[in-house]
A = this chain, B = another copy of it.
Amino acid sequence: MAKANTSPARGMRDLLPDEVALREWATTEILGAYARYGFRRVETPALENIARLTGGQGGDNEKLIFKILKRGDKLNLSAAKSDADVVDFGLRYDLTVPLARFFAEHRGALGTPFKAIQVGPVWRAERPQKGRYRQFTQCDIDVLGDGSTAVEIELIEATLQALAALGFEGLVVRMNDRRLLGAMVAECGFDDARAGAVLIAVDKLDKLGVDGVCKELAEAEHPEPAVAKLRAFLERADSSGDPSGDGALDALAELLAEVEPAVNGIAGLRRLTAELNKSLPGGARVQPDPTLVRGMGYYTSTIFEIALEGVPYSLGGGGRYDKMIGDMIGGEVPACGFSIGFERIVLELQQRGMGPREVTKLAALLHDPKRDDPLAVTAAARAWRDSGVHVTVLPKRKKLGTQLDELAASGVDQFWVFVPDSAAQPKPLGEGAAS
């Protein structure tokens, strides 16, 4: 018989015990930190009605939906003109669209503000590529129904506590305000209608540098004086050499000195970051960064992103999105969220060898299962288990060496050949087999 294909579905992956243990530990620590800040976990089903997933809030992700075929009488393949005729549900591609629906459905039972944690898988039918999977875990906290900056403070503090609990040190949160970005683009003299494109270019500052960004803008035929004005600002912001971010903010304050709402906004950002810096855990700091853009979509004011020294991508980010939930479900619902890049965090933990305290895993081998008193083994095993050791009880095989090799492969690190009334003690695996 030909060997059957036993790979996971294309673009997906199996998780082996060591990785599951790491992910479980990380999840528990993160959830614990968030719970202490009053966040409560909710869960929505993996499937949503297809109409909800294709309502426009998902942007490009809507092209990547795994769609579910209708069943029974509802399925009429021969009359089908397009996808839409034969599907009724889809797998969620993020946790935000389901959260908005959840909030609308259960609002009365949830109280205000509603402080949600969500951790769970999402699915996107992307072309498979190294390190990117079609099922991955997202981890979001959101506060719905409160517009005060106490929310931003709490989201950032709680997230830094969560990452500190995992052992990360020296985290930097960059902060900006979507409205300041808008004022900056306008003040430089760019065309309002092309503001989005300008910000997409500015977003590449880390990769391209000031020259690269300005070159891209010039080539796209933005007005020369606007590009020059932006260049002057970016150069000053970039070269301030001030890791506090204050120098960059000074540069922005100078650029926008005549724009009254921006002056207030800059003062607000300065106050917020200063306040946060007085009380952050684990050597973390917050810095204003007037060049931080993030995905433009739905943010309305504060935006933030977590960076870790030496890591080229952010470990999470978020911001305030006061319109989106209201637009989806009607009414006004101020909202602010912080999303941890769970898969990236796991990758960093793996690469740095960080993780939970190791637990001793012991195999108790029955020398002669027929003769040995099973109760004695049970009692001994229970004592070990109560002391925190993970114990598996097995009959000793004739080929002990092979058995020990296989046990080592399965994660066991000590073994103990059980002979009643003997004083035999557990031995580390690898110290030589037969004994």
Q: Is the CB of B411 within 8 A of A8?
A: no
CB of A152, distance to nearest CB on chain B (Å): 12
Tell whether A195 is near chain B: CB-to-CB under 8 Å: no
A361 / chain B contacts, CB cutoff of 8 Å: 38
In the bound assembly, the distance between CA atoms of A54 and B426 in angstroms comes to 46
Tell whether A385 is near chain B: CB-to-CB under 8 Å: yes
In the bound assembly, the distance between CA atoms of A424 and B277 in angstroms comes to 27
Tell whether A232 is near chain B: CB-to-CB under 8 Å: no
Q: How many residues of A contact B (CB 8 A)?
A: 103
Q: Is the CB of A330 within 8 A of B20?
A: no
A3 / chain B contacts, CB cutoff of 8 Å: 330
Cβ contacts A101-139/B at 8 Å (1 or 0 each): 110111011111111000001010100000000010000
Q: Is the CB of A4 within 8 A of B104?
A: yes
The answer to whether residues A369 and B150 also contact, given A44-B8, A47-B9 and a CB cut-off of 8 A, is: yes
Q: Is the CB of A15 within 8 A of B38?
A: no
Q: Is the CB of A150 within 8 A of B393?
A: yes
In the bound assembly, the distance between CA atoms of A48 and B66 in angstroms comes to 13
Q: A residues within 8 Å of B by Cβ?
A: 1, 3-9, 12-17, 20-21, 24, 28, 31, 35-38, 40-49, 66-69, 71, 75, 77, 80-83, 86-87, 89, 91, 101-102, 104-106, 108-115, 121, 123, 125, 135, 146, 148, 150, 153-154, 157, 275, 278-279, 328-330, 359, 361-363, 366, 369, 374-375, 378-379, 382, 385, 389-395, 406-412
